[in-house]
Chains A and B, each alone.
Chain A
Amino acid sequence: MKIIIVGCGKIGVSIIKQLIIEKHDITVIDQNTDVINDITNNYDVMGFVGNGASYSVQKEAGVDKADLLIAVTGSDEINLLCCLFAKKFGNCNTIARVRNPLYNKEIAYIKDELGLSMIINPEYAAATEISRILRFPSADKIETFAKGRVELLNLVINEESPLVGKTLIEVSKRISSDILVCSVERNDDVFIPNGAFILREGDKITIIASAVHAKEFFTKIGYDTHQVKDTMIIGGGRMTFYLAEQLLKMGIKVKIVESDRAKCETLSETFPKATIINGDATNQEILLEEGITGCDSFVALTGIDETNIFLSLFARTRTQGKIVTKIDRINFNDIIDTFKLSSLIYPEKIAADYIVSYVRAMQNSIGSNVATMIKLNSGKVEALEFTITQGSPVVGIPIMDLNLKRDILIGCINHKGKIVAPKGQNVIEVGDTVVVITTKTGLNDIKDILE
């Protein structure tokens, strides 16, 4: 597909990196010559220097032949203007990044009126992600398929876990829950396990199951499945705003620590139910005084990555609760992983993933049928949801008889709303949706899973 990306900040580059791998024709526009030089030298893209909201620049970049324009500059207004022009003159699909909470309330209206295909708000997306984690604190990360009926959950096996030293066959016999372990991350390696795979302490496993079965599984292996009761949020920025709003709705008590007086006042006006503390969170006394030891969860959302990491490390020594850390710069994620902070949130990456999955879906609406695509284990594993159409080569054959490629696993079958964890004798039928887990990237059709 021909894609134009306007704005090459962190999020722009994340998108470029991913879309390059998927072999799209990418043209980038940015106002800064150095940025464009750097990107064209490092990635296989064509660059133009100029204001992306200008029609002549868009025309030069080939908007008339483009399939999609993604506007991710720092300014909401420029992004919307870019998309407006591209829609009008190029008649292509458009995605804009809009971050201002004020616009966020009117997002549906803006989207319809300007004919946008998608609006992405990284802070809002990240806040939603965090609230999901807090709702289900035992698992690291939750993704959903089949309109929320199927969940993908990460969990790290600790030493007391009954799963240590068991093969997957033993696990499924013992727990007798309808779940499937679909990937295991051990040190730097990622495996798509088979039945004889033995789990060890420290493995990070991803399970796929319906929401009910997932909860059941967690209870059986002795994990708490209740949502957190209260949370302490450090930093009062835009993301805190979105997060507090969602958490309060769910009935979770919110305490926000922010050093800027004016921000505190705005927050207290907006969220009268929340406790707002005006103080410097890097001061340990304040955190202790405000009850970090007793809190059920702790979310570090300041604008500085280092501060977030240190705060989270400190919080880990004081509380048994869930700890969430926001990281803006992805570059050092290998090192940050070694700190063993349980939940890391990369807002830019989340936004980029959203956009990439949209691009895939768009691509697939042309040639094939991926409904959802989710990346796991820092992008090494993909979970893809396919819709099975008439004439697909997998229809009507028991799964054990399908000649699957290596490193491919059928995670679950959604048969008319009923979620089935597939066994060898199950059969895929037309109209089902199937979730496929794989370490191969770029699968476009269900037939790609066969040898």
Chain B
Amino acid sequence: MNIAIVGYNLGWVLTFESGFMLLPALVGLIYGEKEGWPYLIVGIAGLLIGLLFVRKKPKNKQFYTKEGFATVGLAWILMSIIGAIPLCVSKDIPNYIDALFETASGLSTTGASILRDVEAISHVGLFWRSFTHFIGGMGIFVFLLAIMPMVGGLNMHLLRAESPGPVVGKLVPKMKDSSQILYLIYIFLTVLEFILLWIFGMNPFEALCTSIATAGTGGFGIYGDSIGGFNTALKWIVAIFMILFGINFNAYFLLLARKFKDIFKIDEIKVYLSMILISVVAITINIFKMYEHFGDALTDAFFQVASLVTSTGFATTDFNQWPTFSKTVLILIMICGACAGSTGGGIKVSRFIIMFKAIIQEINLFIHPRSVKSVEMDGKAVDKTVVRSVCVYFLLFGVIYFVSVFLISFNKFDMVTTFTSVLATINNMGPGLEMVGPAGSFADFNWFSKLVFIFDMLAGRLELYPILLLILPAMWKKH
């Protein structure tokens, strides 16, 4: 492990995160809130320390997969630790473990909260919570790669460790251009949503916090009832944008490149949209008797499906009260998650497609023992190593899930709470069911459980490996 270069890259991460902290400080200035000061002080201190680290480029430029994964894993932990400090100091969230949970939840775009009363938090704190979604959604290294030349030429390892999906590729030959395109699409969609929300009746602060939380598919709301208090038009806008942010960003690039035909060739998007459609229909039929108007039922069903499939976690209603069938559908689409290469969480649709096709083939082998056939997606054969890694991913996901459930079970809460709380964090979802439902919070768990959740959230966002590899002693050996 080349620790010098990892430290150098972490220095840049610290510098930029600290720089971002000046934004909430600005919000503090606008609203005249004293909570802005800790952000200013931590931000400036972080900037200075960060710049100290990056003053000299390391001599040893060795940077392989191992260094890439370690850099990304450590960077996200570092960002959580630093980002929690001002939340804690400003007394918005006085307990540091709680603040750490909230920041990790924000960065990993989970949106699970330990706050019982969101509305008691200052504007500064609300803004910072939502802004962590924006940083975490597309990823800090994609941002760094977009704006500055990184040390060494092997930045692919960084992109691979941070971007979701079984196969991570570039849109254009140059990493820098590719990252810039991704961020431009990301920012463009966010600004578009902000403007629409503003036009349709939110005030600028609400529109800003909501749009950046949607962009990262995070889901921190700024009111106790999340999006429930807004008018129907706003609910539909947010829901549609959640679905848009859950689509593979390659599709937008193809749109920009005017290759419209190629978009329809992407199996993942077809499956993703059909899954949403079927779930909305099923849930609407299941719940419309509970509503006076059919339209309200449709709005709520559509919103909840959009929110859970993309793992955003906004809510317009307490779906805890829905029938078991609807809740089960929601849990299923939440595990499935959004498209690879989007800002959404979950296991990702493409992994499920590959997995199902691999299973069908395994079964086919009983009927035609000598048949040779490769798994195909988007009309192309999927590499064998990808199929294998997808299968391993499922297993690993299961192992981490059940170990976490076991560790959380010490809290003596009911089964549904225990199972869905872990599911909601590892899938970067946010709310689960029962006690951790849309109306509840994670406040009552003990500090150890919160640390387990923090691990799950970061592992879920980075797709397990970068965080898991940090535990291995072999990672830290010198070459």
Contact surface of A with B, Cβ cutoff 8 Å: 2, 20, 23, 25-27, 33, 40-46
Contacts and interface: CB of A to CB of B under 8 A. Distances in A.
Contacts of A42: 153-154, 156
Given A46-B169, A46-B172, A46-B173, A40 B153 contact: no
A33 B153 contact: no
A42 B160 CA distance: 12
Contacts of B109: none
A26 B174 CA distance: 7
B174 A44 contact: yes
A54 to B, nearest CB: 14
B91 interface: no
Contacts of A46: 169-170, 172-173
Contacts of B65: 41
A25 B153 CA distance: 14
A45 B154 contact: no
B154 A25 contact: no
Contacts of B157: 41
Given A33-B383, A40-B169, 16 more contacts: A20-B153, A25-B172, A25-B173, A26-B173, A27-B173, A40-B170, A41-B65, A41-B156, A41-B157, A42-B154, A43-B153, A44-B153, A44-B155, A45-B173, A46-B172, A46-B173
Contacts of A33: 383
A25 B156 CA distance: 15
Nearest to A26: B173
Given A40-B156, A41-B154, A25 B383 contact: no
Nearest to B176: A44
Please provide the 10 A-B residue pairs with the shortest distance between their CB atoms, ordered closest to farther. A25-B173, A46-B173, A44-B175, A26-B173, A41-B156, A27-B173, A46-B170, A45-B173, A25-B174, A44-B153
Interface in B43-68: 65
B177 A25 contact: yes
A365 B168 CA distance: 36
B276 to A, nearest CB: 29
Contacts of A43: 153
Contacts of A26: 173
Nearest to A60: B262
A33 B385 CA distance: 11
Contacts of A2: 173
A62 to B, nearest CB: 9
Contacts of B170: 40, 46
Contacts of A45: 173
B156 A44 contact: yes
Nearest to B178: A46
Contacts of B169: 40, 46
A226 to B, nearest CB: 46
Nearest to A43: B153
Interface string B170-210: 10111111000000000000000000000000000000000
Interface in B124-182: 153-157, 169-170, 172-177
A23 B173 CA distance: 11
Contacts of B156: 40-42, 44
A2 B173 CA distance: 9
Nearest to A3: B173
A42 to B, nearest CB: 6
A44 B153 CA distance: 7
18 contacts: A23-B174, A33-B383, A40-B156, A40-B169, A41-B65, A41-B154, A41-B156, A41-B157, A42-B153, A42-B156, A44-B155, A44-B173, A44-B174, A44-B175, A44-B176, A45-B173, A46-B169, A46-B173
A42 B157 CA distance: 9
Interface in B348-387: 383
Contacts of A20: 153
A40 B172 CA distance: 12
Contacts of B177: 25
Contacts of B383: 33
Contacts of A27: 173
A46 B172 CA distance: 7
Most buried by A among B155, B172, B173, B176: B173
A298 B169 CA distance: 50
A150 B165 CA distance: 56
Nearest to A42: B154
Nearest to B262: A60
A27 B177 CA distance: 14
Which of B65, B154, B156, B177: most chain A Cβ within 10 A? Answer: B156
Contacts of A41: 65, 154, 156-157
Nearest to A50: B380
A73 to B, nearest CB: 19
A263 B175 CA distance: 49
A436 B153 CA distance: 28
A345 B410 CA distance: 71
A85 to B, nearest CB: 20
B20 to A, nearest CB: 26
A29 to B, nearest CB: 12
B161 to A, nearest CB: 12
A42 B64 CA distance: 9
Nearest to A47: B169
Nearest to B383: A33
A13 to B, nearest CB: 13
A20 B154 CA distance: 12
A42 B61 CA distance: 13
A2 B383 CA distance: 27
B155 to A, nearest CB: 7
Contacts of A44: 153, 155-156, 173-176
B298 to A, nearest CB: 41
Contacts of B175: 44
A193 to B, nearest CB: 26
Contacts of B153: 20, 42-44
B154 to A, nearest CB: 6
Nearest to B168: A40
Interface string B64-101: 01000000000000000000000000000000000000
A160 B172 CA distance: 57
A46 B169 CA distance: 8
A159 B277 CA distance: 85
Contacts of B155: 44
Interface string B274-303: 000000000000000000000000000000
B38 to A, nearest CB: 39
A46 B154 CA distance: 13
Interface string B317-353: 0000000000000000000000000000000000000
B59 to A, nearest CB: 14
A45 B49 CA distance: 34
Nearest to A65: B257
Contacts of B154: 41-42
A384 B173 CA distance: 28
Q: Which among A26, A42, A43, A46 has the greatest number of chain B C-beta atoms within 10 A?
A: A46
Nearest to A4: B173
Nearest to B170: A46
Nearest to B380: A49
A43 B155 CA distance: 8
Nearest to A44: B175
A399 to B, nearest CB: 34
A436 to B, nearest CB: 25
Interface in B376-410: 383
A223 to B, nearest CB: 40
A33 B156 CA distance: 17
A6 B114 CA distance: 55
B468 to A, nearest CB: 20
A429 B89 CA distance: 68
A40 B175 CA distance: 10
A43 B174 CA distance: 10
B157 to A, nearest CB: 7
Nearest to A2: B173
Contacts of A25: 172-174, 177
Contacts of B173: 2, 25-27, 44-46
